[in-house]
Chains A and B, each alone.
Chain A
Amino acid sequence: MGNLKLQNLTRGAKIRIGLLILTLILPFFPFVTDYMLHIAILIFLYMILALGLNIVPGFNGLLDLGYVGFYGIGAYTSGLLTYHFGLSYWVIIPLAFINGAFWGILLGAPTLRLTGDYFAIVTFGFSELVVLFLTNEIWLTRGPLGLPGIDVVSIDLTLFGGPKWEFVGELPYYYLAIVMVLVTVFVMYRIQDSRLGRAWFAIRDDEVAAVSCGINLLGYKVIAFAISAAFGAVGGSFFARWVTFLSPDMFKFWESFLILCMIVLGGMGNIWGVMIGALVLVSLSEVLRELLPLLGLPVGVRFLAFGLIMVLMMRYRPAGMMPIPAVAAKMRAGRVKRKKVKATVSMKQ
């Protein structure tokens, strides 16, 4: 353990540490504006969401179109607990995690017996249900009026006689988001290299062989769905305290689809690929938002651009930009069968 001499590290590890340091000092470059920090935070948020979603299609091979439902649940959990009870964000993170997992189990336990597209449709229905609930249960969520004036995150040390420090501007959120991404990545790597992760990969690759190894399919799928939902909810809890305003139309189906695109684009099942997918799609979205009006096109055209990218990816690189090692090896050997790679996004909305 504790052996952290630079020359002992592999090339990959050096690149990672380099990228991390670069990310940490990024805000101090003179050309970096608040707007850029805002986009960076958005990228980090989507990295958390994409890593969370990745568990279901990437690790378990199940198509989940309703991820944004858990994101919304987490956001409103955070928003309402702050609005009504003034809870600290540090208390809210575990509560959002638990609430997300709770709804994940509640939805997953009865429906994960379904296979393939049937399950995808159930998740899609669930996310629509969440939006309808948030819109219509005005007594709880204020409905379409939205939930304004959510407190910002603060570090309150007054209990111990210390100062209270409120997060103002983008900079503190930038670092908070980095910490949350790091924790998420850490958890994902640990799971990937554990008995739980192997059981998921077994389910993804061959369900019949998996049960023959003693893996309870339903049980492990429910665990996967719950953990995935929990990370979605944690992402939502951050979102609520960062933008300090929530409204139901922030959690439309489009968001689920966007996060799924990130995973497919980056490389399903690959932690780094998924993060790169989030980076590419969020920045592309912003670039197009600036670029399209200059070309005389409405901003909505960027959705078409995303569709085009996905079509081209499916045609030329169905396993994503950074496929999981086995698929990459097969592609190098020129033996990859296009149909064998799970092209879940061919599911049109």
Chain B
Amino acid sequence: MTPILEIKKLYKSFGGLLALNNISFNINRGEIIGLVGPNGAGKTTLFNCVAGIERPTEGQILFANRGRTISISGKKPEAVTALGIARTFQNIRLFDNLTVVDNVKIGRHCRTRSLFFGAVIRNKFQQAEEKEIAESANQFLEFAGLKGRGEEIASSMPYGDQRRLEIARALATEPCLLMLDEPAAGMNPQESRDLMDLIRRIRNKGITVLLIEHDMKVVMGVCERVVVINHGEWLAEGEPQDVQNNPKVIEAYLGTGAAGAA
């Protein structure tokens, strides 16, 4: 398997705080990989660096897509999305005042082109594009299990559905790599199971999934490989079972002494 994303010696500091300290790991094409670590370990910072929202202080992020490998560290977030990396947010960030289907349509933005004159004149090109946007938006909604709910206002949906909508919107950008930031947070067991099923279906479409998650049932249930970071440093990597039994990981989560007791 070839890596789709290579993170090489990544550093990120906020003033005196070193949020990421020499992080290196690869993500292979087509896998579901989990990124875990205690609170404040730097998981979301790492996400933001890959997504272009934060600029890494040092280090490289290489993204392989369509046979080319490009460095995306320091690229603007909209450029990263256009290259094929989509994400969701830890605290859901939907377009609250818009309908569900409009949220997904906005996800189609970077794959479409019409602007002011297209909007006003509605030429053939724009009409065809709008039709494609509407059709694919509905497909993505259906895929995420939100069929027939397109006209609801996004912020009035239940929490679990908002998470699904965020995933549908991310999928609408046609990514090769989808990054989910705590998708199961606040979900009940049934919703978590549905989510795991959704993640597997996303992978079966050929999309690589990188997942930050605290819910160990989800991590163990769906991830094929797990990377653990703590205090901004790489700690362990491997199959979920091995990582779970790794004394260093247990120590990071439960403190010294716990490793011996376990």
Interface residues of A (CB under 8 A from B): 187, 190-191, 194-199, 201-202, 204-206, 208-217, 223, 227, 324-327, 329-330, 333
Contact = CB atoms under 8 A, between A and B. Distances in A.
Contact of B155 (A214, A223, A326): A326
B120 to A, nearest CB: 5
A231 to B, nearest CB: 12
Given A187-B120, A195-B109, A212-B77, A205 B98 contact: yes
Contacts, number: 116
A194 B93 CA distance: 22
B86 A212 contact: yes
Interface string B162-173: 000000011001
B112 A195 contact: yes
Contacts of A333: 156
Interface string B94-119: 11111100100111011010111011
B116 A330 contact: no
29 contacts: A190-B122, A191-B119, A191-B120, A194-B118, A195-B105, A195-B133, A198-B106, A199-B109, A205-B94, A205-B96, A208-B89, A208-B93, A212-B51, A212-B53, A212-B77, A212-B170, A213-B109, A214-B109, A215-B78, A215-B109, A223-B116, A324-B97, A325-B153, A326-B97, A326-B155, A327-B97, A329-B153, A329-B156, A330-B153
Contacts of B53: 208, 211-212
| B109, B126, B133 pick with most chain A CB within 10 angstroms | B109
B149 to A, nearest CB: 14
Interface of B: 51-53, 76-78, 81-82, 86-87, 89, 93-99, 102, 105-107, 109-110, 112, 114-116, 118-120, 122, 126, 129-130, 133, 153, 155-156, 169-170, 173
Contacts of A223: 115-116
Given A195-B133, A210-B106, A211-B53, A190 B96 contact: no
A209 B94 contact: yes
| A196, A223, A330 pick with most chain B CB within 10 angstroms | A196
Given A212-B87, A213-B173, A223-B115, A330 B156 contact: yes
A331 to B, nearest CB: 12
